[in-house]
Structure 1
Amino acid sequence: MALPRKTLRDAASLLDAGLITAAALPALSALQSRYAIALTPEVQARITAPDDPVGRQYIPHADEALSQPHELADPTADAPFTPIKGVVHRYPDRALLKPLLACPVYCRFCFRREHVGPDGGLLNEAELEAALGWFAAHPEVGEVILTGGDPLMLSPRRLGHILGRLAGLPHIHTLRIHSRVPVAEPSRITPELLAALRLETPLYLCVHANHAQEFGPDAGPALRALHGAGVVLLGQSVLLAGVNDSLAALEGLLRTMLAHRIKPYYLHALDPAPGTARFAVPDAQALELLRSLRGRVSGLAWPVFVRETPGGAGKRPLGPTW
Structure 2
Amino acid sequence: MHRAKPDPVFGPRIAAPKQSCPGGWDDWRWQYAHRITDPSALSAFARLPENSRAETAQVISRYPCSITPYYLSLARIEDPQDPILKQVVPDRRELEDEQAAAEDPLQEEHHTAVPGLVHRYADRALVLLTNRCAVHCRHCTRKRLWRLGPRDLTREEFRRVLRYLQEHPEIRDVLLSGGDPLVLPDSRLDEILRGIRQIRHVEIIRIGSRVPVVLPQRITPGLCRILERHGPLWLNTQFNHPREITAQAEEACERLLRAGVPVNNQSVLLKGINDDGETLKALCTGLLRIRVRPYYLHQCDPVRGVRHFRTPLDRGLGILAAMQGRVSGLAIPRYMVDLPGRLGKVPLAPQSLMSLDGRRAVLRTPSGEIVEYENPPD
Shorter chain as denominator, the TM-score bin is over 0.9
2:71 is the alignment partner of 1:43: yes
State the match for 1:140 in structure 2. Answer: 170
State the match for 1:257 in structure 2. Answer: 287
1:233–1:262 Cα contact (<8 Å) kept: yes
2:62–2:147 Cα contact (<8 Å) kept: no
2:305 is the alignment partner of 1:275: yes
Distance 1:2 1:35 in 2: 28
Distance 2:279 2:47 in 1: 22
Distance 1:252 1:118 in 2: 37
State the match for 1:293 in structure 2. Answer: 323
Selected match of 1:2 from 2, 6, 10: 6
Q: Which has the higher contact order (CA 8 A, sep 6+)?
A: 1
State the match for 2:112 in structure 1. Answer: 82
Distance 1:18 1:201 in 2: 40
1:103–1:116 Cα contact (<8 Å) kept: no
The alpha-carbon deviation at position 311 of structure 1 amounts to 2.4
What is the RMSD computed on CA atoms of the aligned residues? 1.5
The alpha-carbon deviation at position 121 of structure 1 amounts to 3.3
2:29 is the alignment partner of 1:25: no
Q: Percent identity?
A: 36
User: Which residues of 2 match residues 31-180 of structure 1 at below 5 A?
Assistant: 31-48=59-76, 49-67=79-97, 70-116=100-146, 119-180=149-210
2:276–2:319 Cα contact (<8 Å) kept: yes
User: Which residues of 2 match residues 167-246 of structure 1 at below 5 A?
Assistant: 167-199=197-229, 201-246=231-276
Larger gyration radius, structure 1 or structure 2: 2
Larger CA deviation: 59-68 vs 222-231: 59-68
The residue type equivalent to 1:30 in the other structure is: Q
For residues 52-111 of structure 1, the C-alpha deviation after alignment (integer angstroms, 9 at most, x for no partner) is 111111111111111165511002110121110000111111110111011100011111
Distance 1:68 1:246 in 2: 28
Can you give the 5+ residue segments of structure 1 that lack an aligned partner in the other structure?
A: none
What is the TM-score of this pair, normalised by structure 1?
0.96
For residues 21-65 of structure 1, the C-alpha deviation after alignment (integer angstroms, 9 at most, x for no partner) is 221111111211211211111111110133211111111111111
For residues 257-304 of structure 1, the C-alpha deviation after alignment (integer angstroms, 9 at most, x for no partner) is 111211111111010111211111111222111111111221211211
Larger CA deviation: 237-246 vs 286-295: 286-295
Distance 1:182 1:19 in 2: 26
The residue type equivalent to 1:10 in the other structure is: D
DSSP-derived class of the 2:114 partner:
coil
Distance 1:122 1:93 in 2: 25
DSSP-derived class of the 2:263 partner:
strand
The alpha-carbon deviation at position 221 of structure 1 amounts to 1.1
DSSP-derived class of the 1:264 partner:
strand
1:34–1:114 Cα contact (<8 Å) kept: no
Larger CA deviation: 179-188 vs 281-290: 281-290
2:40 is the alignment partner of 1:12: yes
DSSP-derived class of the 1:206 partner:
strand
1:173–1:201 Cα contact (<8 Å) kept: no
Give the ranges of 4+ consecutive aligned residues of structure 1 lying more than 2 Å apart after TM superposition.
3-6, 116-121
Distance 2:147 2:257 in 1: 29
Distance 1:102 1:118 in 2: 10
Distance 1:200 1:108, change over 3 A: closer
Distance 1:202 1:141 in 2: 16
DSSP-derived class of the 1:291 partner:
helix
The residue type equivalent to 1:298 in the other structure is: S
Distance 1:17 1:68 in 2: 28
Distance 1:27 1:181, change over 3 A: same
For residues 90-139 of structure 1, the C-alpha deviation after alignment (integer angstroms, 9 at most, x for no partner) is 11111101110111000111111111368333111111111122112211
DSSP-derived class of the 2:252 partner:
helix
Distance 1:54 1:219, change over 3 A: same
Distance 1:240 1:136 in 2: 39
Distance 1:207 1:172 in 2: 21
